[in-house]
Structure 1
């Protein structure tokens, strides 16, 4: 059984988060700089020996510089002290068809909690340049407050400005390393 290293293809991958603003609309943000290290037995991801995702907090973009600066501040991610979001998988489990559950630990700031991520496996193909690629659609929901992201404000009518629930979504393409 051969061990295979996989690296993220950043030009064909994206990581985003969605949060309700004033409980009436959704704001989308991205981590522009992120990395994924995966090691599998053959091309079978259910036999993953290692899957680690990291995102650079300083690469957050919501298309609003003032909001991005606030997100990087101690009110939220505190990027100066905690520059990285990290997910380290412990188990990749078949959930039927092309659906899987990726179990692991998510670390935001100085808080680490177990998280289960939904994964839709898109398959493995060889691209026109001879590179073997694997594709995944990933999503989950987390409570930001559980990770120490507790800042909020209340409107005059009593609504919260930022919801607790954060939706995390990603389109990931991995490249088999020689």
Structure 2
């Protein structure tokens, strides 16, 4: 059975707008605080079919563009201790299925970080459509997921004197997406 598209979303191809799309992450540091950062979105495409089942999403993020507000930490994240950004300059996502989940949607797909690909699910909300001042038709989405960094080969850590470890295993990733319909 075909699942209808969200009200207001029309069929076609939409390109992610890197200047208006944000990919952010947070991870526990020393078990007591969260470190937050962003990674630049290089490109992506949302193909909206006649129904959810015939729709798809791809995205590429620039691992070299990590920004946590601390140049030393950013350099460490790009290093071989974490995501080997020189060898693996992109994080990629390609959807496999899209299904409704109440008022939201679950986009399942393959996420590649550090050269390791794992299946993930993005909890996604359709934020609506708008025509911008330049005549572009836009669609907006918000998505989130949580991954275990060790599953992607991100295993570097340091023991704390008081017990536990410096870097938490769970990483929360959020995406605020603005996409422009191709003419």
User: How many angstroms does 1:47 deviate by?
Assistant: 4.3
Aligned residues: 174
2:71 matched residue in structure 1: 65
User: How many angstroms does 1:158 deviate by?
Assistant: 1.3
- Decide which of 137, 154, 178 is 1:173's aligned counterpart: 178
- Decide which of 124, 130, 136 is 1:125's aligned counterpart: 130
1:91 partnered with 2:94: no
Q: CA RMSD in A?
A: 1.6
User: How many angstroms does 1:39 deviate by?
Assistant: 1.5
| SS of alignment partner, residue 57 of structure 1 | strand
- Decide which of 16, 19, 26 is 1:8's aligned counterpart: 16
User: How many angstroms does 1:12 deviate by?
Assistant: 2.1
User: How many angstroms does 1:8 deviate by?
Assistant: 1.2
Cα distance in 2 between the residues matched to 1:163 and 1:172:
26
1:102 partnered with 2:110: no
1:154 partnered with 2:159: yes
CA contact (8 A) 1:38 1:48 kept: no
- Relative distance call for 1:34 and 1:63 in structure 2 (3 A) is same
CA contact (8 A) 1:40 1:47 kept: no
Unaligned runs of 5+ residues in structure 2 are 1-9
Unaligned runs of 5+ residues in structure 1 are none
Provide TM-score, normalisation by structure 2.
Answer: 0.89
Provide TM-score, normalisation by structure 1.
Answer: 0.92
User: How many angstroms does 1:123 deviate by?
Assistant: 1.3
